[in-house]
Amino acid sequence: MIYTKCGDGGYSSVISCHNIPKDNSIFALLGDIDELGAALGICKTKQCESIANKLNGLQHELICLSSWIAGGKVFDAKSHTADFEVVIDTLENAVGLPDRIVVSGSTEESAYINFCRTVARRCERSAVTFCSEYSFDNSLIVYLNRLADYLFVLGVYSEQI
């Protein structure tokens, strides 16, 4: 059964804590990450196979990230951030960065990626609040910051392939 009615009173639970108000920062962050995963799903339907595969990998990574935030298995945010940096440097060296402010929509593919980047930035802002309130590992914020950077460079790259 999909509905339990447990959340009808405005409270919900995560792995590590129960009866949390639904407007708590943990749910704002988890909701933003869920939205990013959905946006990546839409985005990948408009991409070439190699980029779609990268986005699919990100979706799976975000599920693991959400589990960590909710109190599940630790997510190695520092390692994933380092992986982003390697790919960012590789793509940046391959295509360069624009010397002007990027206006989204040069291509449909890059516009979708840019939209995902803006959702990732919202996730990052939500993570700042969450990490402050819960004294959570700051590597979460760094990971989300680098994810947005990665999506920016991936969008630039998608315009040039």
Give the predicted TM-score (pTM) of the model. 0.94
DSSP assignment, residue 130?
H
What gap in Å lies between CA 106 and CA 160, rounded to an integer? 11
CA distance readout (Å), 21 to 3, 29, 33, 150? 18, 13, 18, 33
| Percent over 70 (pLDDT), the chain | 100
Residue 37 sits at the vertex; the CA angle it makes with 77 and 42, to the nearest 5 degrees, is 145
Q: What is the mean pLDDT of residues 45-54?
A: 97
Which band of pLDDT confidence, cut at 50, 70 and 90, is reported for residue 85? very high
Q: Is the pLDDT of residue 42 over 90?
A: yes
Which band of pLDDT confidence, cut at 50, 70 and 90, is reported for residue 36? very high
Please report the domains of the chain, with CATH numbers, ordered by start residue: 24-160 (1.20.1200.10)
Q: What is the mean pLDDT of the chain?
A: 95
Question: Residue 137: CB partners within 8 Å, gap ≥ 6?
Answer: 77, 131
Q: What is the mean pLDDT of residues 117-131?
A: 98
Given this model, what pLDDT does residue 145 score? 98
Q: Is the pLDDT of residue 98 over 90?
A: no
Question: What would the DSSP string read from start to end of 18-53?
Answer: EEEETTSHHHHHHHHHHHHHHHHHHHHTTS-HHHHH
Q: Is the pLDDT of residue 128 over 90?
A: yes
Given this model, what pLDDT does residue 17 score? 85
